[in-house]
Amino acid sequence: MEITVKQSDGKGFAMAREDGKRAGIMTYSVAGDELIIIDHTEVEPEFNGKGVGKELLYKIVEMAREKNIKIIPLCPYAAAMFKKTEDIRDVLK
Is residue 28 assigned to a domain?
Answer: yes
**Is residue 93 in a domain?**
no
Q: Is residue 12 part of a domain?
A: yes
* Domain assignment of residue 65, given as a range: 2-88
- pLDDT score for 41: 98
Query: pLDDT for 46-91, tens place per residue?
Result: 999 999 999 999 999 999 999 999 999 999 999 999 999 999 999 9
**Domain count within the chain:** 1
Contacts of 26 (CB under 8 A, 6+ apart): 13, 14, 38, 40, 41, 42, 53, 56, 57, 60, 75, 78
Residue 82 lies in a domain: yes
- CATH code (residue 31): 3.40.630.30
Residue 27 in any domain: the answer is: yes
The pLDDT of residue 4: 97
Structural domain contains residue 29: yes
Domain-embedded: residue 70: yes
